[in-house]
Structure 1
Amino acid sequence: MAKFLTLNTHSWLGEDSELALEILGKQILAADYDVIALQEVNQRIDSPDVLQAPYTLENQHHLHEDNYALKLVEYLKERGVNYYFTWAYGHIGYDEYHEGVALLSKQPFTSERSVLTSNVDDEYDYHTRRALIAKTQVAGQEMCVVSGHFSWWKNDFKSEWHRLEATLATEEAPLVIMGDFNNPENTPGHELILASPLKLKDSHLAAKEVTGGATILQDIDGWENNDKALRIDYIFISQQLEVTQSHVLFDGKEQPLISDHFGVECVIK
């Protein structure tokens, strides 16, 4: 069995970000995920660089001491659990942060790369988007895992998806593509992914055991004036993988809210 988690962390932007990180860390310790995908992984623009970091992705932005993924990995390590991680920088968020995406894995990454998916490549333009692609061993099998934070349908999601799709077209390892897709279930963006030649399925729809549904509530950043709870955070997996469970976490019910998004976990057989 293999366990995956995705969460748009909204890091350092909540009322008690340190507590949110601790809650996330405790969940990771309890669930023992194989791979974790995080979005809105922030670090302050003016915070110090890490001089010697457990971080290997080439040609990427400097890692800072307050990088959310780094702090999470340090929290876990202090409690005796080691995760490898990598981070890809996308753009400046809220005028204060370098914002990007991250992947954490129990096993070392055998390859890792950042792919520009957006039409623009300008850190001062929030439309700049990168997906993080890595390979790692999961339950004895090599898998290709992805963390992505995509634009809305009206803001060129289609071309962003097609760029990622083209990058993964020759990938032979099973795919697990996770993240904030900003396209609700049963809309053109969601349908585009399900019709992809990558032959993916929505793990939440495919799972035998499911809890939860929506991953955002009404009006949040990027969804101003929205009046509905929507499912926009997903784990898409290759058709040959069998998913047994899918659960929405951190929804303010069984677990507290720690972001403006809920998390999604799945178990693959």
Structure 2
Amino acid sequence: MKVLTLNTHSWMEERPLEKLQQLVKQILEDDYDLIALQEVNQRIDSQQVIDPPNFHPTNDQFAVHEDNFAYLLVQQLAEQHATYHWSWAYNHIGYDLYHEGVALLSKQPIKPEAALVSKEQNPADYRRRVVLLGQTSVGELPVTAASCHYSWWTETGGFAYEWQQTEAILKHCPSPLIIMGDFNNPASAAETGYELVCNSSLHLQDSFLSAKKRTGEFTVEKAIDGWGENQEKLRIDYIFTSPELSIDHYQILFDGKQTPIISDHFGVAVTVDQKN
């Protein structure tokens, strides 16, 4: 199976429609089975879409608007005869203009759940965080996928609390797990969020460390939103999986090398096999 995660930065990017097309092109070329996206935004004042195609709502679904980044992405893929089932969960207000959320795309139908994992519950507060879980299949293999966009370690009631809540929920989900997204915690920082995930009772593996082949490593290489003072190369976007999955290839995308830069984060793609 092929899996991709990307913090899209969607409508905050310059020339966003051009970059949306570049994302479509890459998805068509590599034919991903499962995709997790973060910072999937829509304008607060745009029109609601009624019954978007191949959309799987959560129990308390927030309305999808006509400029929802994932909605437009799925539409453009469908125009190229690539059908994806999808779900989107609202997190909070972003930049005073947008409903910001996370999305999952799968070639197979999705049974989604939007799980509030933050202490903050105010839908306008940037500290409100929701993990989008999806029961789906890759080929004949049932999986539990998650698209995540967590708070920083330094935030009061931030990552440590959010991961604790996530972990409690995932303990009751069927394996294998594929947990993807922007964790806002660098792999280089000892005894912080990254270590908390690696030492989890879920026994997750970091696809970068487990991969038989690696192409690239870091997902942020400059100062970006939320990391305004950063001068280092950071790995803060991850694909964690259950250990029964074998990671063949870990690859950084949208870094300006083989693929264009389309966000303030680079993407992570992995090729995964089920161990015999």
Query: What range describes the TM-score normalised by the shorter chain of this pair?
Result: over 0.9
What secondary structure does 1:26 align onto? helix
Name the CA distance, whole Å, in 2 between partners of 1:184 and 1:148: 15
Report matched runs for 1:135-214 at 5 Å.
Answer: 135-155=135-155, 156-187=158-189, 188-214=192-218
Say which SS state the counterpart of residue 12 (structure 2) adopts. coil
Pairwise CA distance, 1:115: 0.4
CA distance in 1, matches of 2:266, 2:194: 18
- Could you tell me how far apart the structure 2 residues matched to 1:112 and 1:61 are? 13
Superposition deviation, residue 197 in structure 1: 0.5
Counterparts of 1:87-126 in structure 2, within 5 Å, are 87-109=88-110, 111-126=111-126
Unaligned runs of 5+ in 2: none
Residue deviations 1:177-207 (CA, integer Å, cap 9, x gap): 0000000003221111010001100001100
Equivalent position of 1:127 in the other structure: 127
Equivalences for 1:1-269 in 2 at 5 Å?
A: 2-54=1-53, 55=55, 56-109=57-110, 111-155=111-155, 156-187=158-189, 188-269=192-273
Q: Residues of 1 paired with 2:113 and 2:258: CA distance?
A: 36
CA distance in 2, matches of 1:172, 1:92: 32
Determine if contact 2:175/2:242 at 8 Å carries over to the other structure: no
Letter of the 1:176 partner, please give it.
I
After TM superposition, give the deviation of residue 239 of structure 1 in Å: 0.9
Alignment: residue pair count: 267
- Report the identity percentage: 50
Paired residue type of 1:8: N
TM-score, length basis structure 1: 0.98
Q: Which moved more, 1:171-180 or 1:68-77?
A: 171-180
Q: Following TM superposition, by how much is the alpha carbon of 1:58 offset from its aligned partner in structure 2, in angstroms?
A: 2.4
- Conserved? CA contact 2:188–2:234, under 8 Å: no
Q: CA deviation at 1:170?
A: 2.1
Q: Distance in 1 between matches of 2:188 and 2:225?
A: 21
Task: Please tell me the residue identity of whatever aligns with 1:119.
Answer: K
CA distance in 2, matches of 1:45, 1:192: 35
1:265 and 1:139 map into 2 onto residues whose CA distance is 18
Letter in 1 for 2:63: H
The offset of 1:254, in angstroms, is 1.4
Amino acid of the structure 2 residue aligned with 1:79: Q
TM-aligned CA deviation for residue 8 of structure 1: 0.1
Contact 2:112/2:132, CA 8 A, preserved across alignment: yes
> Which amino acid letter does the alignment assign opposite residue 244 of structure 2?
Q
The answer to whether the 8 Å contact 2:131/2:147 transfers is yes
